[in-house]
Amino acid sequence: MKPKPPPSLDLAVMPDHDLESEGVYRRLGFFDTDLSGRVAESVDFSQCRFKGADLSGVNLGRAEVTDCLFEKSNLANLRAGRSSLIRTRLSILRMTGFTWLDGVVRDVTFEECRLDLSGWRFTDFRSVIFTKCNLSKADFTGADLTGAQFIGCDLTRAQFSNAKMSGTRFDDCTLLDVGGVTSWEGAVLRNQDLVALSYTLAAALGIRIDDDSE
């Protein structure tokens, strides 16, 4: 399901709409707004739009983000625990070190986002698409990825240990040196992706590949 944006937005104004615990933010436009470094619990964002916003280093607990749009903003090193991201689109974002632990991500699209070193441990993915994202060294340990698709993404050295991946789809991705490859039972890959993954899979199974034709 796609985000449901409101017919109109009010402009977020500081300090009236600063990020604080139990804050409720509805139908607001955060344009070129600096919210970096804030710490807040039980925050609720609904039908908001973030463009040119700085949320780097924000620390959230039990947050809910629903029907929101994020564009050309900075979410680097944002950390959220036991939080929900629902019907949201995130495009062209800086998200290095972004962490979403033990949470829910449902009906969400990530487009051309820099998500290297991001953390998704024990998070539940449903109807989620990553398109042309840099996910190198991302950590999906223990995540439920059965409802996720990766299209044209760089997953070099990403970690998938103990992840659930039945039905997870990969299309035209870089899969060099991924970790936890033995958890990939039920994943769906294109032919070219399987060739790239085969060397990592062979190493995990203790298979030695001899390239010496003699």
Per-residue model confidence as pLDDT tens digits over 141-176: 999 999 899 999 999 999 999 999 999 999 999 998
- Average of per-residue pLDDT across 57-84: 98
> What's the mean pLDDT when you consider all of the chain?
93
pLDDT of residue 212: 60
Q: Residues 101-127: pLDDT tens digits?
A: 999 999 999 999 999 999 999 999 999
Evaluate if residue 214 carries a pLDDT over 60.
no
Reported as a pLDDT band with limits 50, 70 and 90, residue 210 is low
pTM above 0.95, yes or no: no
Reported as a pLDDT band with limits 50, 70 and 90, residue 5 is confident
Nearest CA-CA partner of 138 in 128, 126, 152, 153 = 153
Evaluate if residue 99 carries a pLDDT over 80.
yes
Q: CA 43, CA 65: separation in Å to the nearest integer? A: 8
Give the total residue count for the chain.
214
134 DSSP assignment: B
pLDDT of residue 202: 65
Reported as a pLDDT band with limits 50, 70 and 90, residue 7 is confident
Q: What is the dihedral of CA 40, 114, 145, 88, to 10 degrees?
A: 60
Handedness of CA 67, 48, 35, 74 (dihedral sign): positive
